[in-house]
A and B are shown apart, each in its own frame.
Chain A
């Protein structure tokens, strides 16, 4: 089947198998390897991308389901002017270690901030609970996101 996606701001058309996963499409067909595979069960969030601005687990989403929609991956986010602010906060707080979860963390944070859903440390913890990180112990990420959201960590 043919899908048409606005991928990182650019309209692309591709022939794909109906059961093709968005994660495989991005990583293998499009060479966008910033989204990572880990749990395959919608638990860890390393494969997170934004579809029409909302975080989605690409490991459990079909390309067919994003036909006609907007998909933003970390590669696209990194091109946006607002990214610098995110980058600086994560650098300042050393809110990453191995970096495997990082793209998902940033994209989920962006979506929550866009929707103004981060008005307390409590909301940060709840909002990001669908993104696992095994390295940092979360503390640094909460600090970085709190700074971005302008709330107390």
Chain B
């Protein structure tokens, strides 16, 4: 096999089996919860039962005296540290200091010889609270004179990436505004305007593996095994918090049991490190599901939107006001808010729009990233208004999109990356996949939806490719294997560049001591950005081989000879380095790296007597530029589709006075096998228009924004427009009753 000949591709574009499949199938794959470190203790966190209170005193004497207990950590152990963290806004103490701001906030932590002893000790820690007035909902937090969750100046975190953070305004910790043209005047000459108020629920990512951390604090060295998606950002936050050099912090990430954003940025690491620091022994903290549910979640949101169209069907203006409930601490709220703001107009040729998105503190568990954040929040709203306009004008919703969608190269957001996808082609494909023009039985509706998600995050990744004298290749890259398959995709990319068989390439897991810097695993960026770094590193090795070969064609079989020729022995090693850095500053304002396509279609059937909505068909477009591994691409879309159905149909975290009421999987239902639609299709679109290797661009999130929107539109097509998710039978049934009173049902 030669590598000089570049086409056809032999590895890329093929559905190679997952590299990690056998380990995982045989129960051999190691997760953080399986890691056992010598002398390791077990930690248990004492969490606040109150949503807002002053902490008057914490008395841990009895707990500390219990058998098997090594120590109890409270805020008084951390007075030598600044002690506040948060990658966007440093608003979060390691354990509550004088005040708790949500039910579930860590107040103390016990380290003991086993979990049972730690749990028993946590039970006898006496905390005296003095309740404070609550701002537990958006309404409560936004009213004049609301209790303020945070005071003093906003302290920017290390990685907010949002330019200059504006000052806090009451409980609004961040605000993102974009506009184009003069919406007021365009609205005033519109023929058709729809407007409405919408509610999106807080939901739980439910990675099946809960947040788990093992930490060791030895002198000035910190070693952490963590269920984190972004080891390098966690490393930086820990170094900053504990005042040690970056290189003294080592983060090891084995396989992750799902993430979906719940393990992005820093979560349980600062607390576990603090406990290990006090215990002077390694400690493991493993959340239970109810604890992970109050560690991070998706933002609930309220939105007011109006959209204008001409009677000929030209979409002309949109105005959006939305409020994201970020809970007691900002976490990734500012970025979620900005991404939501960018998704709000939708990829249409507007004459004018205005978007005003706010991120609001409330006394509830903090909200952060969850797959397709921002787009999942806004797309169903914007797209349902477009369908409503189409219905009023008597136009086919698909035709309205065909006529109004942005075309490749057109501006999506001022100053941002122009459109890099064929959206019209995408939506036509998914519409066809659900039988758009076929006759519909009664109580059946179909919907499509189109949107974009600002993807890629900050484009910084590095990789190293090492070739040994036997021709075997190791890829070192800081991307984490959350289940999405980078170890397989990167191996394919390296194998393609080097002309070696896939089984000769191994992609190692992230360990910040050895794997080079990768900004993060999220925002659908890994194949595109880290994959590009891997490709560049592999190319460098190939160039070295070519130089050594001195004009002879490269043959895999002769690689060992080339090593002997170059190093004079059957040894040595060729090392290639790949880097991706932004062209400009890489800031959010200049971004995104690419627009992730969120295009889907659905067919639903509603049972009017019960309000039960059954999804019969879904289709999504995986507009990936180039599918490095088509099977893995399809699997990503299927997973996101199912999460989208959960988000659309039944998932909802129910808070009352700041208390999470449904904090078990019995009460918080996620989709099961029985929720599978009869037909789930994924259309892969490969236009080689991505900035990644071989023209690839990321995927895996878009379906989670597209599917709920398509389902909402399909239900409206069946006669039941909805303004609130999830579409529970009760809500749908009530809506039918209202429609009946208004004489709009049955149609």
Contact = CB atoms under 8 A, between A and B. Distances in A.
- Do the two chains belong together in a single complex? yes
B22 A91 contact: yes
Contacts of B210: 37-38
Contact of B31 (A36, A96, A141): A36
Interface in B466-501: 482-485
B672 A129 contact: yes
Interface in B641-692: 641-643, 664-666, 670-674, 676, 680
B258 A39 contact: no
Nearest to B29: A99
Contact of A99 (B20, B286, B642, B670): B20
Interface string A52-96: 000000000000000000000111001000000011001110101
B424 interface: no
Interface string B2-30: 00000000000001011011111111111
Contact of A39 (B20, B289, B639): B289
Contacts of A35: 27
B635 to A, nearest CB: 5
Contacts of A99: 20, 23-25, 29, 255, 257, 483
Interface residues of A, number: 50
Given A38-B208, A41-B665, A44-B208, A137 B641 contact: yes
B361 interface: no
A1 interface: no
Nearest to A46: B208
Interface class of chain B by DSSP: loop
A128 interface: yes
Contacts of B310: none
B638 A98 contact: no
A46 B208 CA distance: 8
B22 A137 contact: no
A22 interface: no
Interface in B439-453: none
Contact of A78 (B25, B255, B485, B642): B25
A97 interface: yes
A51 interface: no
Residue among B30, B289, B641, B680 with the highest chain A CB neighbour number at 10 A: B289
Interface in B284-300: 286, 288-289
Contacts of B482: 98
Interface residues on B, range: 35 or more
Interface string B270-292: 00000000000000001011000
Nearest to B16: A94
Contacts of A87: 21-22, 25-26
A128 B631 CA distance: 23
Interface string A25-48: 001000011111111110110100
A134 B673 contact: no
A128 B673 contact: yes
B598 interface: no
Given A134-B208, A142-B676, A94 B27 contact: no
Contact of A97 (B286, B288, B483): B483
A33 B34 contact: yes
Nearest to A74: B27
A129 B29 contact: no
B640 interface: yes
A139 interface: yes
A96 B639 CA distance: 10
A124 B673 contact: yes
B26 A78 contact: yes
Contact of A142 (B255, B640, B673): B673
Interface string A117-153: 0000000111011011111111111100000000000
Contacts of A37: 33, 210, 286
Contact of B680 (A96, A106, A124, A137): A137
Given A33-B34, A39-B665, A41-B664, A98 B27 contact: no
Contacts of A40: 288-289
Given A78-B27, A90-B21, A100 B258 contact: yes
B301 interface: no
A100 B209 CA distance: 7
A139 B25 contact: no
A35 to B, nearest CB: 8
B257 A100 contact: yes
Given A134-B639, A138-B676, 4 more contacts: A75-B26, A78-B27, A100-B258, A134-B206
15 contacts: A36-B209, A41-B664, A91-B25, A96-B25, A97-B484, A98-B207, A98-B256, A98-B258, A100-B209, A106-B25, A124-B673, A125-B674, A126-B674, A134-B643, A139-B638
- Pairs of residues from A and B, 8 with the lowest C-beta to C-beta distance, nearest first: A34-B27, A99-B24, A98-B483, A100-B257, A97-B483, A137-B642, A74-B27, A137-B638
Interface of A: 27, 32-41, 43-44, 46, 73-75, 78, 86-87, 90-92, 94, 96-103, 106, 124-126, 128-129, 131-142
